[in-house]
Amino acid sequence: MKNLLKIGLLIGAIAFTGCDDDLTTENTGKVTTGALLTNELLENSVRSSYELLSNRLNIMGQWNWNGGLVFQNDYIMQDIASDDMVKKWNVDGDQPWIDEINSFTFTSTNGGPNGLWSYNYEGINRLNLALEGLLNPNVESITGISPERKNQLLGEAYFLRSYYYFSLVTNFGGVPLLVKPVASLDEAYEIAVRADESRVWEQINGDLALAKDLLPNSKYSSDTEKWRVSKAAVIALMAKSALYNENWGAVPSMVDEIAGIGYGLNTNYFDSFRSEYTDNEVIFSYNHETNTTPRKGNGINAPLGWGFFAPSTDFLDAFEPNDPRKFYTVDVEHQNINKMLGSVNGTNKGNDDGPNNKIYIRFADVLLWKAEALNETGDYAGAIAIINQIRQRARNGVDATGATPPAGTLPDRPASSDRTTIKGWLISERRVELGFENQRMLDLKRWGIAQEVLNAKGINFQPKHMLYPIPQAEIDGSAGTLTQNPGY
């Protein structure tokens, strides 16, 4: 099996089951083709599929830095690649492949795209196996699982698969579309071809439609496991898909539907980044826990302790005077990325088993999608009202010392009917509100301003960089059935 795996993760890991030790460092309890179905296997198969969203270290191997596999690469590919973040507080030669992402000198052998590809396809692999078990027509009689629980697990699995494909299509364009376990090497080669982007988006939206109908009509899918995918998370990803495809008219009603389920802005900005599910704002996140077996802690705290991840000067300068979100994002004096640590005093820094959660979707982000859609459809007053709602929350909350920012902080944007002006306000607000939340690079690309913005700041972004290269190992391993993105 190890020889077969040399043809790449896409064909090797996805085509074959029962060889998980070659891919992961622990037994994750995934369902495998031909396995005796049990309720425990079904539960574990879906639970393990969340793991590729985790910041836990070494999910895909042991300290494979050059392969980009030590942790998932969202911060590198979306924040360091943008104008917000640099590799380290102190410039050094450590992990030069990250510097290549920052300077846009990377090639198709760089570890960043490889890690992004590998994490997503490993997640899809696990989900296809989970879905195979859950869709067995006799699963209820074989395992004793209730119809309600089966539907919930199916809904979670469909959402998670769409989430991984969302990451792939927005970063690589058209990618191989794998929706079931592959039984043979010949079949693996046959499907190792790139589907059109439109077909990938169809799959994403189809999975989300299935998930929405399967999940409970409640704020949480489980009151005891609030981290699980909820109906609101599904609707949010549907809205984000519509946004990325410029289906502006569909976005506002979806955002309103999420609000109707019970989500809204927290009173204080930083509440979303603390460790427990006690806020109104976080719609989807990975639930890191400390001192568990197997480990579920937030490993990104370790590289933070080694000096990785620092703000660019340009990012710091983007904040208006006295904006409390600046310190809540980064404490320059103590070189702490507070938002990533989930603390404002350095707690969790260096702890590779920390309890601080990884947030993927929160309501402030979703509200700004609605503002963007309203602006694009001519409801300028509605768009400005949402931008001001975000600013009001920031200025009315307390800062890290418990004090309210001084009067005049973050004044409301005035009335305007100039779409370009409002779009500029929106771009600025998204940057400071969502800094270091893996949104900036994707935003710049979908707005069509990445080259303009980054070139103006001395960053060598070129048209080919609108997509990352397919990892060269995948191209080589496919015997030519996979094609490379232009320019690489």
pLDDT score recorded for residue 245: 98
pLDDT score recorded for residue 460: 96
CA distance 470 to 468: 7
pLDDT score recorded for residue 399: 83
Lowest mean pLDDT among 122-136, 340-354, 390-404: 390-404
Is residue 178 predicted with pLDDT exceeding 60? yes
Mean pLDDT, residues 382-398 taken together: 96
Q: What is the CATH number of the domain that holds 436?
A: 1.25.40.390
Is residue 340 predicted with pLDDT exceeding 50? yes
Q: Are 25 and 59 in contact (CB under 8 A)?
A: yes
Residues 475 and 413 in one domain: no
In 3D space, the residue among 431, 413, 422, 409 whose CA is nearest the CA of residue 377 turns out to be 422
Residues 254 and 183 in one domain: no
DSSP 380: H
pLDDT tens readout for residues 365-383: 999 999 999 999 999 999 9
Lowest mean pLDDT among 198-202, 309-313, 398-402: 398-402
The residue type found at 40 is E
pLDDT score recorded for residue 401: 83
Lowest mean pLDDT among 30-34, 69-73, 113-117, 436-440: 30-34
SS3 content of the chain, % helix, strand, coil (to 5): 50, 5, 45
What distances in angstroms separate CA 133 from CA 6, 127, 151, 153, one per listed residue?
27, 10, 12, 11
Q: Are 304 and 341 in contact (CB under 8 A)?
A: yes
- How much of the chain exceeds pLDDT 90, in percent? 86
In 3D space, the residue among 431, 445, 439 whose CA is nearest the CA of residue 104 turns out to be 445
Residues 174 and 274 in one domain: no
pLDDT score recorded for residue 81: 98
Residues 229 and 197 in one domain: no
pLDDT score recorded for residue 276: 77
In 3D space, the residue among 439, 442, 434 whose CA is nearest the CA of residue 467 turns out to be 442
- How much of the chain exceeds pLDDT 70, in percent? 93
Mean pLDDT, residues 386-400 taken together: 94
Residues 441 and 452 in one domain: no
DSSP 298: B
Residues 414 and 462 in one domain: no
Phi-psi region of 385 (alpha: psi -120 to 50; beta: other; left: phi over 0): alpha
pLDDT tens readout for residues 24-39: 333 344 454 445 899 9
Residues 128 and 274 in one domain: no
pLDDT tens readout for residues 217-234: 999 999 999 999 999 999
The confidence band for 400, taking pLDDT boundaries of 50, 70 and 90, is confident
Residues 83 and 26 in one domain: yes
pLDDT score recorded for residue 34: 46
In 3D space, the residue among 398, 397, 435, 203 whose CA is nearest the CA of residue 317 turns out to be 435
Residues 344 and 242 in one domain: yes
Residues 138 and 8 in one domain: yes
Is residue 480 predicted with pLDDT exceeding 90? no
- Report the predicted TM-score, pTM, of the whole model to 2 decimal places: 0.94
Domains contained in the chain, number? 2
C-alpha radius of gyration, the chain, whole number: 22
The confidence band for 279, taking pLDDT boundaries of 50, 70 and 90, is confident
Q: Are 408 and 321 in contact (CB under 8 A)?
A: no
**How does strand 85-88 pair with strand 282-286?**
unpaired
Token pair in block for residue 421: 């002006």
Q: Which domain holds residue 48?
A: 1-215+448-488
pLDDT tens readout for residues 79-112: 999 999 999 999 999 999 999 999 999 999 999 9
**Average pLDDT for the chain:** 92
| Sign of the dihedral defined by the CA atoms of residues 476, 488, 437, 131, in that order | negative
What distances in angstroms separate CA 33 from CA 103, 191, 288, one per listed residue?
44, 18, 29
Residues 254 and 152 in one domain: no
pLDDT tens readout for residues 50-60: 999 999 999 99
Residues 313 and 331 in one domain: yes
pLDDT score recorded for residue 35: 55
Is residue 1 predicted with pLDDT exceeding 70? no
Token pair in block for residue 401: 């010392």
CA distance 446 to 462: 15
pLDDT: which is higher, 403 or 243? 243
Lowest mean pLDDT among 117-126, 155-164, 268-277, 294-303: 268-277
pLDDT score recorded for residue 469: 98
In 3D space, the residue among 260, 302, 264, 257 whose CA is nearest the CA of residue 283 turns out to be 264
In 3D space, the residue among 329, 363, 332 whose CA is nearest the CA of residue 437 turns out to be 329
